[in-house]
Amino acid sequence: MSEFYTVCDSTNFEEVISKSQVPVVAYFYSDDCLPCTKFSQIFERSAVTLAEQLKFVKVFRPHNRQLAEKYSVKSSPTIIFFKEGREVCSRLNGYISFPEFKEAIENVLEKTCDSKERTIVHCDVLIIGAGPAGLTAAIYASRSKLHTIVVDSSLPGGQVASTYHISNYPGTNGVIRGIDLMENMKKQALDFGSQIDDMQSIKSINLTGDEKYIQTETNDYYAKSIIIATGAEPRKLPVESEREYRGRGIHYCATCDGALYTDANVIVVGGELQQLKNRCSSLDMQKALR
């Protein structure tokens, strides 16, 4: 048990949920899951700041499969919220960003979680986004002796940090995990003097004038120059109940969740169907793709 969260299994999970005097955030995770590796940092840091308002619970899904099946948890990570022993609000699955997690928590608490204390920060260069482009810019800027700050609404790494294997990036000597590649970039940026302020959603921005202004939940940034490197995210399926079935039938990462549907009929929505067919056929996973 951590000081700020509780590790549960099938023997005590329901007792912990039912007896909690505050809403519960239950996190089902696996050890072979890169999205879990990334989200665990968000979960544990949130547990530190919100321990008085919420009870944070971790469940290792591979050792508690019957419990996971009882709650229809089919993939990792999966977040379930409880109040007074009953599940409330929508679940979170897959690649869970901090803004998405924070919004869900605020829905459960029925209030915002913004900090009341604010800090004014001045810098030469402010970079919005801590993915490959943002961190590369930070390396160049800070190496040029510019006071450089990188702001990201989630954790550094972007989508690359949730990629299992990367084999086409220069200088990686073959294959490297996305999370390791981005950790190398992050360390290099920090070693050159960059400051990284992560888990900071931008509330306001003003790009006029000689000094640009960015407002986050905790800081007011004033920068001579701003680099925008916000990247992208997967498009969600625009159908009814998409959120309800996300991670329980609707998935956005064949590499992550494809193995869950071995010998099943699968419908693929969107482009690059042939590439996905080739991958799934090579893994001998699905009966049919349509």
For residues 2 and 47, the answer to whether their CB atoms sit within 8 Å is yes
Rg (alpha carbons) of the chain, rounded to whole number: 21
Strands 55-60 and 5-8, by their bridges, are: parallel
Catalytic residue among 198, 253, 263, 284: 253
- What length does the chain have? 290
Residue 218: CB atoms within 10 A of its CB come to 16
Phi then psi for 203, rounded to 5 degrees?
Answer: -100, -35
- 3-class SS at 139? helix
The Cα 245–Cα 239 span in angstroms is: 10
Strands (E), the chain: 5-8, 24-29, 55-60, 78-83, 86-93, 119-128, 148-151, 195-197, 202-206, 212-216, 219-228, 265-266, 288-289
Neighbouring-strand partners of residue 228? 128
Can 253 be counted among the known catalytic residues?
Answer: yes
Catalytic residue among 36, 152, 257, 280: 257
- DSSP conformation class of 248: T
283: closest CA among 164, 179, 173?
A: 164
Catalytic residue among 33, 36, 256, 280: 256
Which two structure tokens, joined as six digits, stand for 53? 């308002």
Can 256 be counted among the known catalytic residues?
Answer: yes
Which two structure tokens, joined as six digits, stand for 94? 């897959």
Catalytic residues: 253, 256-257
